[in-house]
Amino acid sequence: MSKTYDHQAIEVKWQAYWEQHRTFRVSDDQALPKFYCLDMFPYPSGSGLHVGHLEGYTATDIVSRYKRMKGFNVLHPMGWDAFGLPAEQYAVKTGVHPAITTAQNIETFKRQMKRVGLSYDWEREIGTIDPEYYRWTQWIFLKLFERGLAYVAEVPVNWCPALGTVLANEEIIDGKSEVGGFDVLRKPMRQWVLKITAYADRLLEDLKLVEWPPSTLEMQKNWIGRSIGAEVEFALADVPGTLRIFTTRPDTLFGATYMVLAPEHPLVEAVTTADRKTDVIAYRESASRKSDLQRQELEKEKTGVFTGGYAVNPVNDEPLPIWIADYVLMGYGTGAIMAVPAHDERDWAFAKTYGLPIREVIAGGQVGQEAFVSTDKGTVVNSSSPDGSVTINGMTPADAIPKITAWLESRGKGRKAVNYKLRDWLFARQRYWGEPFPIVWVDGQALPLPEEQLPVLLPETSNFKPSGNGESPLANLTDWLTTTDPISGMPASRETNTMPQWAGSCWYYLRFIDPKNQSLLVDPAKERYWMPVDLYIGGSEHAVLHLLYARFWHKVLYDIGVVSTPEPFKKLVHQGIVLGEDNQKMSKSRGNVVNPDEIMDQFGADAVRLYEMFMGPLEAVKPWSTRGVEGVTRFLERAWRLMVNEEGRLSHAVVETAPTLKQQRLLHQTIKKVTEDIETLRFNTAISQMMVFTNEMTKTEQRSRVLLEPFVLLLAPFAPHLAEELWEVLGHQPSLSQQTWPIFDPALIISDRLTIPIQVNGKLRAKLDVGTDATREQIEELARGQVAEWLQGKAPKKIVYVEKKLMNFVV
RNA sequence: GCGAGAGUGGCGGAACUGGCAGACGCGCGAGACUUAGGAUCUCGUGGGUGACCGUGGGGGUUCAAGUCCCCCCUCUCGCACCA
């Protein structure tokens, strides 16, 4: 491929210039309007950047460069989510300390990012593994602990023998570990847990405050899973006590024909009769051995056993047999349900399997065929208490629910209740490469360390193997483990768990605001100036966990006055996945991975940036095409040749004379389109407009400087190296990053001629070229002449004229 | 099954509040310049080829539908016994 311009030389030149002149350093001048433009910071993996990373990074870089030229003070930082399992697994295998591999990987990432010309303020670089950073991660943990939002619990956790560690639910896919695909068993273990459920309502409500993709909002809503219903007390028939259940359908209480407890439910022993004991124990055991995967596989076939016990339905005093079944989950609601087979699919299936009665209480379906679950349709029937104190017959389910709930409440048999799918957040990992907890244990009690003792440094070791009993490798470090409680002076033992990877990424966006602050997490004045993040771009794989956890911490920080906004990320966009050239997901095994370094060697950083944006809409999943990179390279070369001759000097085609009106119109249309498209992140169409401009200019021999200079500025956010060079060739001082963004003149956009399509019966038959001042009558007369052939002399029934747009004859 | 999004040339994709379907790029074809071209430039390129058909399929609203309404099909992503 012949080179019109030497991308290599130009890119090296300008990257050095930017670095030397600290061109992208953020100012703390709060008089300027601010724009906080954030990428999801990466985990620095061993394989370096891939073209998918680049898509999001290029998008934020274009917006950042554009906003700077628009006069904004732009915060566009980058850092490293550098704690994580891969480096630790590598250390276990090779003995190389995770700090070493991590540092190397960060070097690679940073080198690649600089090569792409991303305009980060590197003076604000942070890493979650830096003690000066995790000191504040630990500090936030202390605040959570102080507020009762961090507690210790003996939780059955997902124990993965192969990884020698415990996994969170979200790290398990189809019953296997996300990393490595190993088997996972359940094992009770002492864990730190964060009470995210205390914030469930606010996490749900405040989704109204953000501009996020609808799918992400929906996923967060589902994850939180708020549902409103009632808790109802069922007295036990033969033993003292009550059984509390949660239902969203109290309107179907009269249709309950049996009860189900989760196998782990504490009342199981009490209600089980002697003759049922063997079966119940056997079922409980088999249920406890089932992994989540098995539970999913057996979804269709419901199993359970009768306990022999009965509970009394509070609405009609009817005794209901109590069963245990693993389709009822201990972790949700009260771990017990009333079963209404007529109006619940699961109960229906279970009732069919075990021959339990199905009683219709909402008319409108065919409950013999299938459960009738609609709450919008149907009428309540067979639902009056025997003592006549309540009836909901004839009502719609929606009306019956509050009525029966109120009645239960008046009798002390129940109350309105809200439940969430969201569980508290298991916040401890049995790993080395993570933040240590600022906690010591004295006599079995967890005590927080004072703030002044932070950070609790991760101790040095060369043995990264798990202790094997489920504790982290830190448990092997006796010297570190043994300490004294600074408050009481009592002998103490350090917490051996470390924090999960999510911890560091929960608040990093705050540290970028004030990365070197020694005394505060973030300076309040700076925080008020910069927050919230105006644009946050990252993968949709973080739609739930990272974004929910970060929102949770942010709200806690809001409550203690550290931050000033209820939500951290105002606008969120997910870049789509870049597929391989074969339309398949990029993977080493398929051999379709595109290495950005190789593409940059061949075509240069500007071409890669441009192609990443030209592929299609930012959020769409789309395939890579190296041919496409060639295409945008041709465009860049054409843009170059517009103003540079073969010797690399200003071309003679560049003239000082005034442009034609038509040329000015094209320029101003281009300014308008590029400006609006950057604002709405439609980079592909912005580039296409610049191509149109370039194609037109290529045709002319005399290219007015008045046209070229604004064009170079428009090109700058997309192809910054080339644009800087062109700006210099045009005789200007660098850097154009300090130039102001071109403004379009609305008067210059409007054309003096119009093309009016003429239709007959909605079909295009002619086009009229008229002046903007042409009247309807003039157009109609001209049009009649043009389409006479289709009018066939008949008078049109109707003539539709849309001002300056179109004329349609209806015959 | 539920939820969200999407189906437009050979390919990636354009098309604002209904108003010229296919911008721009890739690919392909023709030509120019050249010793040469896989460089560059110019022209052409939805399908048929007379006025017809074309935005996943079928209905509808409208002077006019890729765009709005109803039914159906397909794909992608997420959730998946949450009572």
**pLDDT tens-digit profile of A556-607?**
999 999 999 999 999 999 999 999 988 888 888 888 899 999 999 999 999 9
**Cis preceding linkage at A42, omega within 30:** no
Residue A98 CA and nucleotide B50 C1' are separated, in Å, by 75
Distance between CA A365 and CA A356 in Å, rounded? 19
Residues 526-545 of chain A with CB under 7 A from strand B are 540, 544
Residues 567-606 of chain A with CB under 7 A from strand B are none
Residues 329-368 of chain A with CB under 7 A from strand B are 329, 331-333, 335, 337, 344, 346
In Å, how far from its chain's centre is CA A54? 17
Q: Which residue minimizes Cα–C1' distance to B12?
A: A615
Distance between CA A643 and CA A726 in Å, rounded? 8
The answer, yes or no, to whether residue A498 has pLDDT greater than 70, is yes
Nucleotide nearest to A330 (CA to C1'): B82
Distance between CA A789 and CA A684 in Å, rounded? 42
Tell me, what's the pLDDT at A168? 61
Residues 67-126 of chain A with CB under 7 A from strand B are none
Nucleotides of B under 7 A from a protein CB: 3-5, 12-15, 19-21, 23-27, 37, 39-43, 52, 63-65, 76-79, 81-83
SS3 A273: coil
Q: Is the minimum distance from the CB of A699 to strand B below 7 Å?
A: yes
Q: Is the minimum distance from the CB of A252 to strand B below 7 Å?
A: no
Residue A159 CA and nucleotide B28 C1' are separated, in Å, by 58
Residue A756 CA and nucleotide B20 C1' are separated, in Å, by 8
Distance between CA A690 and CA A695 in Å, rounded? 9
Say which residues have a Cβ less than 8 Å from residue A130's Cβ, sequence separation at least 6. Answer: none
Q: Which residue minimizes Cα–C1' distance to B80?
A: A296
pLDDT tier, A795 (very low <50, low <70, confident <90, very high otherwise): confident
Mean of the per-residue pLDDT values of chain A: 91
Residues 750-779 of chain A with CB under 7 A from strand B are 755, 757, 759, 761-764, 767
Distance between CA A172 and CA A165 in Å, rounded? 12
SS3 A3: coil
Residue A804 CA and nucleotide B72 C1' are separated, in Å, by 39
Tell me, what's the pLDDT at A2? 41
Q: Which of A327-336, A436-445, A577-586 has the highest mean pLDDT?
A: A436-445
Look up residue A695 and give its two tokens. 């194609």
pLDDT tier, A805 (very low <50, low <70, confident <90, very high otherwise): confident
- A285-294, A496-505, A628-637, A696-705 — which is least confidently predicted? A285-294
Q: Is the pTM of this model over 0.90?
A: yes
Q: Is the minimum distance from the CB of A561 to strand B below 7 Å?
A: no
Q: Is the minimum distance from the CB of A693 to strand B below 7 Å?
A: no
Q: Is the minimum distance from the CB of A419 to strand B below 7 Å?
A: yes
**Residue-wise pLDDT tens digits, A709-753:** 999 999 999 999 999 999 999 999 989 998 999 999 998 888 777
Say which residues have a Cβ less than 8 Å from residue A672's Cβ, sequence separation at least 6. Answer: A744, A749
Residue A715 CA and nucleotide B13 C1' are separated, in Å, by 21
Residue A796 CA and nucleotide B69 C1' are separated, in Å, by 29
Nucleotide nearest to A217 (CA to C1'): B4
**Residue-wise pLDDT tens digits, A370-407:** 899 888 788 999 999 999 999 999 999 989 999 999 99
Residue A571 CA and nucleotide B72 C1' are separated, in Å, by 36
DSSP A702: -
DSSP A449: P
Residues 613-632 of chain A with CB under 7 A from strand B are 614-617, 620-623, 625, 627-628, 630-632
Distance between CA A130 and CA A374 in Å, rounded? 55
The answer, yes or no, to whether residue A790 has pLDDT greater than 80, is no
Q: Is the minimum distance from the CB of A282 to strand B below 7 Å?
A: no
State mean pLDDT over A639-663: 89
**Residue-wise pLDDT tens digits, A199-214:** 999 999 999 999 999 8
Asked if residues A396 and A374 have their Cβ atoms less than 8 Å apart, the reply is no
Tell me, what's the pLDDT at A170? 55
Distance between CA A434 and CA A82 in Å, rounded? 9
Q: Is the minimum distance from the CB of A161 to strand B below 7 Å?
A: no
Burial of A299 (0-12, 13-18, 19+ CB in 10 A): exposed
Nucleotide nearest to A809 (CA to C1'): B63
Strand-pair partners of A306: A323
Tell me, what's the pLDDT at A725? 95
Residue A728 CA and nucleotide B14 C1' are separated, in Å, by 34
Q: Is the minimum distance from the CB of A376 to strand B below 7 Å?
A: no
Q: Is the minimum distance from the CB of A248 to strand B below 7 Å?
A: yes
Asked if residues A540 and A416 have their Cβ atoms less than 8 Å apart, the reply is no
Residues 710-729 of chain A with CB under 7 A from strand B are none
Q: Is the minimum distance from the CB of A685 to strand B below 7 Å?
A: yes
Residues 438-467 of chain A with CB under 7 A from strand B are none
Distances (CA, A) of A591 to A112, A579, A588, A607, A621: 21, 12, 5, 23, 19
Residue A286 CA and nucleotide B83 C1' are separated, in Å, by 23
* Amino acid identity for residue A509 in this structure: Y
Q: Is the minimum distance from the CB of A645 to strand B below 7 Å?
A: no
Residue A725 CA and nucleotide B45 C1' are separated, in Å, by 36
ipTM for the predicted complex comes to: 0.94
CA-based Rg of chain A, rounded to a whole angstrom?
34
pLDDT tier, A185 (very low <50, low <70, confident <90, very high otherwise): confident
The answer, yes or no, to whether residue A670 has pLDDT greater than 90, is yes
Tell me, what's the pLDDT at A172? 65
Q: Is the minimum distance from the CB of A745 to strand B below 7 Å?
A: no
Which pairs count as long-range contacts for A564-568, CB under 8 Å and 24+ apart, including other chains?
A564/A524, A564/A527, A564/A528, A564/A531, A565/A531, A565/A532, A566/A202, A566/A206, A566/A209, A567/A206, A567/A209, A567/A210, A567/A532, A568/A509, A568/A510, A568/A531, A568/A532, A568/A533
Residue A2 CA and nucleotide B35 C1' are separated, in Å, by 18
In Å, how far from its chain's centre is CA A792? 61
Distance between CA A521 and CA A141 in Å, rounded? 13
Residue with tokens 């040749």: A641
pLDDT tier, A1 (very low <50, low <70, confident <90, very high otherwise): very low
Nucleotide nearest to A802 (CA to C1'): B19
Q: Which residue minimizes Cα–C1' distance to B76?
A: A621
Q: Is the minimum distance from the CB of A638 to strand B below 7 Å?
A: yes
Look up residue A612 and give its two tokens. 């990443």
Residue A151 CA and nucleotide B18 C1' are separated, in Å, by 59
Residue A659 CA and nucleotide B58 C1' are separated, in Å, by 54
Phi, psi of A269 (to 5 degrees): -60, -40
Cα within 13 Å of Cα(A118), Cβ side: 30
Say which residues have a Cβ less than 8 Å from residue A214's Cβ, sequence separation at least 6. Answer: none
C-alpha dihedral over A125, A129, A134, A135, to 10 degrees?
Answer: -100
**Residue-wise pLDDT tens digits, A524-544:** 999 999 999 999 999 998 989
Look up residue A549 and give its two tokens. 């956890």
Distance between CA A650 and CA A595 in Å, rounded? 35
